[in-house]
């Protein structure tokens, strides 16, 4: 063994980590930094009307980009499979306690990585392959994970879908009851992605009780409204409640599972880890905790109320400007616009509106005759616009702008009316400048 003293200065120089610790993204990876910069500009300069999107706070972004990215914390607070979890425990415990307080329930699992995984965890906990569950049909506004044939939920289980009535375009509770009696599902799911009416949780509870089903609410789209008191709570009616955290709730991209009865605690926690996931995304758990704190602030009630008020104003403005709203209006943050009478497809409308700096998505309407790649409608939502500060006046204007672009498409076909689209872009720019996104970032 050599007895020569180690030359530490030479060793540090030879393994210089200066860039690793000091380079910001713009220096380390200009291509990715440029794309992020352009994405920020896009979010600033266009009006976001996608009903499932929002604009998270700077604090949420900071937590999501934090050093918890480095940490493995398999297990749950106080029962981890790794050392060094003291602060991971602090973060996860805060997230759990805040989620419980926010939604008024006894138990919470804040580890699901996404909305799809939270629902998979409920299936894993309560069903065996081949078992029957009921959910809202995708064509009526349900979610992929509620039994679509292309999703695991549709491939591994026997799915009985309920839909909306042709006449009212709202959920027909008699149909739900009849199908439940006939199929005896183990789980009935309420909640969806493109349904603009209030969910009648007590009515679902009565049906679930009658047939002995577990009642699951997937409140992903409306959880911000529930948190802010602008939509009835699924508790105490539903046994298990799942939610994404990045939609109206305005947190990081992720999922949570909530419940009241202790009997679900072990199966649900075991299903998330080790059933489906390994190490939780602790940086995202931290960001969820931050978002829950924000949603517990009294100002969030005002935010939730304004989301609904703005959605009503947008729907009314669209109708006044000649567009039909599915089911005749909205009770929540979202709406489906039926473009059939204008002979414009959802696909062309999405593209035309994007050219005019209005971002939304094409969406099938109930009993749509066009394919899911074309569709006869668009889905609109107000959570993101409400976050940047738009009120009723701004959303009435946005309704008018959308109608102008659609009329241009009706007149000229898919390429639209360039003059109208330019004029709309200018008015969008005025609105965006008055209500800046991430100023100073
Ligand atoms: C968005 C959504 C999901 C899935 O969320 P991902 O995070 O995209 O996997 C699940 N259920 C409903 C009702 C949703 O709206």
Residue with tokens 């439940």: 180
pLDDT over 70 (residue 14): no
Which of 153, 193, 242 to probe ligand 1 with, by most ligand atoms within 8 A of CB?
Answer: 193
- Output the average pLDDT for the chain: 96
Tokens of 380: 């609109």
In angstroms, the CA 355 to CA 415 distance is 10
Q: Which of 62, 74, 200, 309 is catalytic?
A: 74
Quick one: which atom of ligand 1 is closest to the CA of 191?
A: 13
Q: Which of 44, 100, 253, 347 is catalytic?
A: 253
**Does 49 show up as a binding residue in the annotation?**
no
CB of 154 shorter than 6 A to ligand 1 = no
Q: Which of 76, 213, 187, 207 is nearest to 122 (CA)?
A: 187
Answer for the pair 288, 245: CB distance below 8 angstroms, yes or no: yes
The residues, any chain, with a CB within 8 Å of residue 413's CB and separated by 6 or more, are 348
- What's residue 13's pLDDT? 65
pLDDT over 70 (residue 333): yes
**Does 144 show up as a binding residue in the annotation?**
yes
Q: How confident is the model at residue 8 (pLDDT cuts 50, 70, 90)?
A: confident
Q: What percentage of the chain exceeds 90 in pLDDT?
A: 95
**Does 395 show up as a binding residue in the annotation?**
no
The question of whether 379 is a catalytic residue gets the answer: no
| Residue ranges of domains in the chain, CATH in brackets | 63-296 (3.40.640.10), 301-434 (3.90.1150.10)
pLDDT over 80 (residue 38): yes
Nearest residue (CA) to ligand 1, atom 8: 115
pLDDT over 90 (residue 7): no
In angstroms, the CA 341 to CA 408 distance is 14
What is the average per-residue pLDDT within 244-263? 98
Nearest residue (CA) to ligand 1, atom 15: 193
DSSP state of 341: G
Answer for the pair 321, 395: CB distance below 8 angstroms, yes or no: no
Answer for the pair 252, 56: CB distance below 8 angstroms, yes or no: yes
Q: How many CA atoms lie within 13 A of 315 on its CB side?
A: 25
Residue 145 Cα to ligand 1 midpoint, Å, equals: 8
Q: At what angle do helices 346-355 and 418-434 cross, to 10 degrees?
A: 60
pLDDT in tens, 145-197: 999 999 999 999 999 999 999 999 999 999 999 999 999 999 999 999 999 99
Q: How confident is the model at residue 2 (pLDDT cuts 50, 70, 90)?
A: low
What is the average per-residue pLDDT within 81-91? 97
pLDDT over 80 (residue 243): yes
Please tell me which residue, 268 or 18, carries the higher pLDDT value. Answer: 268
**Which 3-state string (H, E, C) describes 123-164?**
HHHHCCCCCEEEEECHHHCCCHHHCCCCCHHHHHCEEEEECE
CB of 114 shorter than 6 A to ligand 1 = yes
Q: Which of 62, 72, 131, 425 is catalytic?
A: 72
pLDDT over 80 (residue 356): yes
**Does 373 show up as a binding residue in the annotation?**
yes
The question of whether 247 is a catalytic residue gets the answer: yes
- What's residue 104's pLDDT? 98
CB of 115 shorter than 6 A to ligand 1 = yes
In angstroms, the CA 316 to CA 239 distance is 36
Residue 144 Cα to ligand 1 midpoint, Å, equals: 8
In this structure, what are the phi and psi dihedrals at residue 256, rounded to the nearest 5 degrees? -140, 155
Task: For 259-295, give the DSSP string.
Answer: ES-GGGHHHHHHIIIIII-SS--HHHHHHHHHHHHHH
In angstroms, the CA 102 to CA 100 distance is 6
**Does 142 show up as a binding residue in the annotation?**
yes
Q: How confident is the model at residue 19 (pLDDT cuts 50, 70, 90)?
A: confident
The question of whether 253 is a catalytic residue gets the answer: yes
pLDDT in tens, 285-321: 999 999 999 999 999 999 999 999 999 999 999 999 9
Rg, C-alpha atoms of the chain: 24
Which of 145, 241, 287, 288 to probe ligand 1 with, by most ligand atoms within 8 A of CB?
Answer: 145
CB of 198 shorter than 6 A to ligand 1 = no
The question of whether 72 is a catalytic residue gets the answer: yes
Q: How confident is the model at residue 236 (pLDDT cuts 50, 70, 90)?
A: very high
DSSP state of 364: P
Quick one: which atom of ligand 1 is closest to the CA of 193?
A: 15
In angstroms, the CA 34 to CA 331 distance is 40
Nearest residue (CA) to ligand 1, atom 14: 220
CB of 252 shorter than 6 A to ligand 1 = no
Residue 14 buriedness (CB in 10 A; 0-12 / 13-18 / 19+):
exposed
pLDDT over 60 (residue 1): no
Residue 192 buriedness (CB in 10 A; 0-12 / 13-18 / 19+):
buried
DSSP state of 373: T
Peptide bond into 157 cis (omega under 30): no
Answer for the pair 40, 441: CB distance below 8 angstroms, yes or no: yes
Task: For 2-66, give the DSSP string.
Answer: --SPP-HHHHHHHT--HHHHH--HHHH-HHHHHHHHHHHHHHHHSEE--TT-----HHHHHHHTS
pLDDT in tens, 391-412: 999 999 999 999 999 999 999 9
How would you classify the pairing of strands 240-244 and 214-218?
Answer: parallel
Q: Which of 388, 171, 124, 408 is nearest to 277 (CA)?
A: 124
DSSP state of 194: S
- What's residue 12's pLDDT? 67
pLDDT over 90 (residue 327): yes
Q: Which of 121, 203, 126, 124 is nearest to 162 (CA)?
A: 203
In this structure, what are the phi and psi dihedrals at residue 204, rounded to the nearest 5 degrees? -65, -40
């Amino acid at each position: 063994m050599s007895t020569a003293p180690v030359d530490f200065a030479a060793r540090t120089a030879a393994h210089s980590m200066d860039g690793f610790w000091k380079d910001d993204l713009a220096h380390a990876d200009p291509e990715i930094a440029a794309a992020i910069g352009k994405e920020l500009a896009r979010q600033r300069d266009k009006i976001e009307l996608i009903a499932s999107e929002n604009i998270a706070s700077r604090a949420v972004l900071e937590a999501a980009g934090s050093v918890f990215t480095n940490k493995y914390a398999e297990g749950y607070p106080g029962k981890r499979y790794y050392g060094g979890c003291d602060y991971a425990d602090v973060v996860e415990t805060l997230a759990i306690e805040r989620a419980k307080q926010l939604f008024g329930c006894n138990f919470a699992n804040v580890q699901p990585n996404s909305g799809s995984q939270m629902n998979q965890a409920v299936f894993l906990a309560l069903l065996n392959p081949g078992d029957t569950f009921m959910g809202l049909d995708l064509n009526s506004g349900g979610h992929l994970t509620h039994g679509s044939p292309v999703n695991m939920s549709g491939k591994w289980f026997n799915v009985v879908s309920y839909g909306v009535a042709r006449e009212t375009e709202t959920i027909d509770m008699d149909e739900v009851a009849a199908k439940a009696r006939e199929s005896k599902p183990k789980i009935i799911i309420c909640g969806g992605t493109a349904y603009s009416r209030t969910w009648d949780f007590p009515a679902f509870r009565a049906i679930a009780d009658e047939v002995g089903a577990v009642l699951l609410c997937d409140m992903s789209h409306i959880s911000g409204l529930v948190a802010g008191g602008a939509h009835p709570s699924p508790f105490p009616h539903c046994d298990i409640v799942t939610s994404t955290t990045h939609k109206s709730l305005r947190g990081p991209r992720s999922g949570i599972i909530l419940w009241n009865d202790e009997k679900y605690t072990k199966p649900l926690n075991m299903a998330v880890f080790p059933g489906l996931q390994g190490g939780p995304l602790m940086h995202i758990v931290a960001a969820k905790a931050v978002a829950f704190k924000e949603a517990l602030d009294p100002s969030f009630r005002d935010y939730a109320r304004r989301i609904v008020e703005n959605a009503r104003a947008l729907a009314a403005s669209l109708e006044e400007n000649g567009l039909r709203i599915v089911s005749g209006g909205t009770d929540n943050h979202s709406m489906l616009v039926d473009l059939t009478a204008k002979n414009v497809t959802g696909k062309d409308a999405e593209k035309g509106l994007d050219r005019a700096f209005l971002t939304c998505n094409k969406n099938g309407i109930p009993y749509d005759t066009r394919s899911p790649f074309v569709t006869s409608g668009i889905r609109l939502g107000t959570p993101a616009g409400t976050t940047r500060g738009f009120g009723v006046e701004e959303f009435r204007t946005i309704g008018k702008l959308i109608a102008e672009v659609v009329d241009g498409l009706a007149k000229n076909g898919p390429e639209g009316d360039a003059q109208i689209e330019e004029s709309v872009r200018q008015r969008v720019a005025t609105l965006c400048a008055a209500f800046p996104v991430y100023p100073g970032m």
